Amino acid sequence: MQSMTGFGRGTHTTERWLASVEAAAINRKQVEIVANLPRPLQSLESRVRQATLPHISRGRVQISVRIENSEGEASAQIRINPALAKSFESAFSDLSLIISRPLLPEPSDFLRQPGIIEVCEQEEVDPEVAWEAISPALEQAITNLNAMRSSEGIHLRDDLLARLGQLMAFTQTITGHAPGRMIRQKELLLKRLSNLGIPLELDDERLAKELALFADRCDISEEVTRLESHFAKFHEYVHSEEPAGRPLDFLCQELFREFNTIGSKANDPLIAQTVVESKTELEKIREQVQNIE
């Protein structure tokens, strides 16, 4: 089991380039891979996505790639556009005439104006040559990312199993208390009839029929059987090596449905209260499941 959140970093150096890759993952219902590369390497975006996709089945992963000259040489230079700078200053002079007062540009105005001062690559970067450094760094980053996700997944698994054990204990409380409902219902009926002054024998056929109808309406054996089946499947998915987020999310919905049905059939204050506590615990499980790949 793996969490959907994590972080990994990788570096690799070739004779020409030093590549640094960072991979950060957060929760998403579907898989989404976003690659951020320097402008000269935009053509490698699909290759980065294809290399990452086999390792991710759910979540949003952002891959950030940086590359620099492995020999420590300057890889960029500043370029100034003289014509644009003069035109920009001339515009201030024209504006001064229009508003009838001197208006001079500040140095920050030139910096903010696009195209006057640009940072340019000093040399062309061959994407194929750069990929020789990026690919191993990317693989290392993904390996470290998944190691962190697996470590967090262990903690999630332990928490889910503890909470599932609590749900199973609640279910045992319900099943242990359910058989006594017939006796309590019989006593309640006799007490109501007695308060109304209507005597009724214990072996009266009408009493037996009413209790039989009550037992049929309140039978929860099917729901309990399905709960036990869902518990077993939950254990199986939690210990599986395959991504389990989606099936666990589906099981949470099914567990909620069964507890909800038991609550509507309960006709017993203790069972109703236990169902409320079960649904509260189940909601915590569902929140944790949203973090699982």
Task: Decide if 65 is inside a domain.
Answer: yes
| Its pTM surpasses 0.85 | no
Name the band, by pLDDT with cuts 50, 70 and 90, for residue 24: very high
Q: What is the pLDDT of residue 240?
A: 84
Over residues 264-284, mean pLDDT: 86
Q: Say if residue 222 is in the same domain as residue 188.
A: yes
Same domain, 204 and 177: yes
Higher pLDDT, 110 or 169: 169
Q: How far apart are CA 58 and CA 3, in angstroms?
A: 10
Burial of 150 (0-12, 13-18, 19+ CB in 10 A): middle
Give the chain's domain count. Answer: 3
DSSP state of 110: H
Average confidence (pLDDT) over 113-117: 83
Together in a domain, 49 and 100: no
Judge if 86 and 47 occupy the same domain: no
Question: Exposure pattern of 217-227 as b/e (b: 16+ CB <10 Å)?
Answer: ebebeebbeeb
Do residues 40 and 140 both lie within one domain? Answer: yes
pLDDT band with cut points at 50, 70 and 90 for residue 10: very high
Q: Answer whether residue 39 is part of any domain.
A: yes
What b/e string do you get for 110-127 counting C-beta neighbours within 10 Å, with b at 16 or more? Answer: eeebeebeeeeeeeebee
Per-residue confidence at 250, pLDDT binned at 50, 70, 90? very high
On whether residue 43 sits in a domain, the answer given is yes
264 and 170 within one domain = yes
Give the C-alpha separation, 56 to 53, whole Å: 5
Is residue 65 within 8 A of residue 134, CB to CB? The reply is: yes
Task: Tell me the pLDDT band of 74, cut-offs 50, 70 and 90.
Answer: very low
pLDDT given at position 198: 56
**Spatial distance between the Cα atoms of 282 and 164, rounded to a whole number of angstroms:** 8
In a domain, 16, yes or no: yes
- Alpha helices, DSSP H only, in the chain? 45-52, 82-99, 107-112, 127-177, 180-195, 205-217, 221-238, 245-266, 269-289
Does residue 1 belong to any structural domain of this protein?
Answer: no
**Pair (39, 132) in one structural domain:** yes
pLDDT digits (tens, 9 = 90+) for 128-146: 999 999 999 999 999 999 9
DSSP code of residue 98: H
Given this model, what pLDDT does residue 57 score?
87
Residue 194 predicted with pLDDT over 60? no
For 148-201, the DSSP string reads HHHHHHHHHHHHHHHHHHHHHHHHHHHHHHTTHHHHHHHHHHHHHHHHTT----
Residues 144 and 11 in one domain: yes
> How, if at all, do strands 59-69 and 31-36 pair?
parallel
52, 142 contact by CB (below 8 A):
yes
Residues 216 and 95 in one domain: no
Average of per-residue pLDDT values in the chain:
83
Same domain, 94 and 202: no
50 with 166, same domain: the answer is no
- Exposed (0-12), middle (13-18) or buried (19+): which is 136, by Cβ within 10 Å? middle
Domain extent, residue 117, equals 76-121
Query: 191 pLDDT band (50/70/90 cuts)?
Result: low
pLDDT at 122: 47
Clarify whether residues 169 and 142 are in a common domain.
no
Does residue 226 belong to any structural domain of this protein? yes
Determine, yes or no, domain membership for 170.
yes
